[in-house]
Amino acid sequence: MLNNDTAAMRKITHPEAQKALLDWFAILSERYAISDKKQVNGRAWRAELKRMELPYGVMMCEGYNNLRQRLNEHMPLRPVDEMALALFVSVAAHIKSDERALSFAAQLGEQITGAKSVLSSLRFERLQKANDPENFCQLLIRAVKIRAEYGVNVLSLADSIFLWMEEWLRREEHLPENSNPFARNRIRWASEYLSTARAK
């Protein structure tokens, strides 16, 4: 039986891994935060992450390594997952707040101030057609900046990036796509985006 719940988490499913990710994101807004019983400056982490070369420069940063260690305790990270995490961290540094009422892709289609989606259909199509991690990361950063004060569903975004990177690697290795269409990121995002873009 196919699971057609396109908003459901696919990769970061362990509740403690989800909590670790959200706790880490909360630290990015704090000057005096506690992580592993040590005081850290989350705002300095955010500033450093923003300065790094996209998308893998963040792998040298304390903020990235802190999240990698947190997640590794609850979900073993493969090399492709560490690459996905680098993309997520690069994008997360630009997110102003966590907002979980809708999935990330649904948030992009959301009509907040009239009849237009937050992210235009043309920009969304470009995001869907991104074929390498660097371009995907840049387009995601633009998308979260457009969301700005409306916030982003941090968990949904992270899960989607992990799924996207896994699919990208499968294409690079000439492996077949997942037989369940609802497990494919592009179809999941299209379904979620259209669910809000056509809501009014």
Report the distance separating Cα 157 and Cα 163, nearest Å: 10
C-alpha distance from residue 13 to each of 17, 130, 181 (Å) = 7, 25, 19
Output the pLDDT for position 1: 37
How confident is the model over 74-78, as a mean pLDDT? 95
**pLDDT of 147 higher than 60:** yes
**pLDDT of 78 higher than 90:** yes
pLDDT digits 0-9 by tens, 51-66: 999 999 999 999 999 9
Report the distance separating Cα 131 and Cα 145, nearest Å: 21
Report the distance separating Cα 143 and Cα 85, nearest Å: 18
Record the pTM: 0.93
pLDDT digits 0-9 by tens, 18-53: 999 999 999 999 988 777 778 889 999 999 999 999
**pLDDT of 2 higher than 70:** no
Cα of first residue to Cα of last residue in the chain, in angstroms, is: 32
Mean pLDDT of the chain: 92
Q: Which helix (H) or strand (E) holds 38?
A: strand 38-40
pLDDT digits 0-9 by tens, 104-139: 999 999 998 777 899 999 999 999 999 999 999 999
C-alpha distance from residue 51 to each of 58, 91, 188 (Å) = 9, 12, 31
C-alpha distance from residue 146 to each of 80, 93, 94, 175 (Å) = 28, 14, 10, 34
Domains of the chain: 15-197 (1.10.520.40)
With bands split at pLDDT 50, 70 and 90, how would you rate the model's confidence at 7?
A: confident
Please report, as a single letter, which amino acid is at residue 60. Answer: M
Of 53-57, 112-116, 160-164, 183-187, which gets the smallest average pLDDT? Answer: 112-116
